[in-house]
Chains A and B, each alone.
Chain A
Amino acid sequence: MDKGFLIQFAVSAAAVAGLVVLSAWARIARPTPPLDEARARALFAEEFPRQHLESVWIAQDGAGALARSGPSALVLWRSGDGYVARATPWSRALHARFKDGLLRIDFGEAAAPRAVLAMAAWPPGDAPA
């Protein structure tokens, strides 16, 4: 790589830093109020339009939700100002690691390695086995 390219790269890096600071200052991200059940159900309906939700549990911080749909657990969690959703077998969600109020569900994907949801208890008392 020649010197000109390195200078161009350094200037680009400075510009990137400036633009990111500007975007943070502008505060024009989507608002992300804590999820309530209605909003969580609406998001689940967008992500899994054919799935019937039997039960929905909202994370304590409102940053995610988990639903039971037959043999599947549907998981929704916040990423930036958007949401990510995945389905996993209910049995896997039921036996996911739960420690210090955090439920960690592994998906084994590079794109979404795991969801971490703040839950009061897991499995919840009203969860079917």
Chain B
Amino acid sequence: MKFDPVTLATPFFILAIILEIALGRLGKAKAVYEPKDTLTSLTMGMGSTVAGVLIGGVIVAASLWVFQHRLFDIPMTAVWAWVAIFLLEDLTYYGFHRISHERRFWWAAHVNHHTSQHYNLSTALRQTWTGGVAGTWLLWLPLSLIGFPPAMVAIQKGISLVYQFWIHTEAIGRMPRWFEAVFNTPSHHRVHHARNPRYLDRNYAGILIVWDRLFGTFEPELDEEPCRYGIVKNLSTFNPLRVAFHEWAAIGGDLLSSRSPREAAGYLFGPPGWSPDGSRETSDMLRVQWKASQARETEEMRRTPASGAEYPVA
């Protein structure tokens, strides 16, 4: 029998969503659900499963072919091998996730996961339909080339996906400090789903937040700046087809209008929001603008002392 962590966890996903809705209804936890948004998220999850089945054969065949040319023989029964695959798969996930945000071609496949203006457990299931076609699975092939059996890689990918389910919630505030320091948590991942300039393109981690701390992409959640969820330009539709394909359509339009191969490459592989004349805004541009406005406000506050502060009473 095939061991698939995601399939095994599906009943838990359903029960957890029921629990989150119930706690929200009873006012015992923060949980915001909008029915159309929930339907879209869950439909995207089902569609992603179908897309996975359709492309799954190609991925399995490629993984097995690469494994036949492996550099080492790594036993599935060794504890050290599981520790190694845990770390290497999680690092691979970080790389996949980062490129999925920072390069438009892969963003087009990933953006649907960020299109909800809500952050609840149903959002976790708003998964890609086009990730397989975008070829992000290629990033995991080196693990099989090293010598990790494809089944082992698939199981660890599944474990990572299951782990990332529970962090899509506002019902949990902060975990213990040691946990927040090492692992990806609801707080860290809320930041990842936020569209505030401060939070854009941060916290790419799968299970271990240490990768973000290591590579300079970590941003803590601040109580004084609540997360606003969604994407920079939110969608006005709940239609799953538009959710799945809108960025691909936008890329197609841009490619048709591009005037040179360089422009076409920029539209395809530049950061989301890139344009030849700089008239659109990338995450970096938005962050720079935000930082400049923060600096201006700080300077104004420094120049304008609070009432009474000019004449301190001894």
* Chain A residues within CB distance 8 Å of chain B: 1, 5, 8-9, 12-13, 15-16, 19-20, 22-24, 26-30, 46, 49-50, 77, 79-86, 109-113, 115
Contact = CB atoms under 8 A, between A and B. Distances in A.
Contacts of A112: 233-237
A46 B43 CA distance: 30
B127 interface: no
A111 B242 contact: yes
Contacts of B31: 28
Q: Which one of A46, A50, A86, A110 has the highest number of Cβ atoms from chain B below 10 Å of its Cβ?
A: A110
Contacts of A85: 233-234
B228 A46 contact: yes
A20 B39 contact: yes
Given A28-B24, A30-B32, A85-B234, A19 B50 contact: no
A80 B37 CA distance: 7
A23 B25 CA distance: 9
Contacts of A24: 35
Contacts, number: 111
B38 interface: yes
Interface of B: 7, 10, 14, 17-18, 21-22, 24-25, 31-39, 42-43, 45-46, 49-50, 53, 117-118, 122, 228, 230, 233-238, 242, 245-247, 249-250, 289-290, 293
A47 to B, nearest CB: 9
B46 A13 contact: yes
A71 B50 CA distance: 46
B293 A19 contact: no
Given A19-B17, A84-B236, A112-B237, A26 B33 contact: yes
Given A23-B38, A29-B34, A79 B234 contact: yes
Contacts of B45: 16
A28 B35 contact: no
A61 to B, nearest CB: 16
A14 to B, nearest CB: 10
A110 B49 contact: no
Contacts of B293: 49-50
A70 B289 CA distance: 19
Contacts of A27: 25
B233 A9 contact: no
Contact of B35 (A29, A77, A79): A29
Given A19-B18, A30-B34, A82 B234 contact: yes
A115 B236 contact: yes
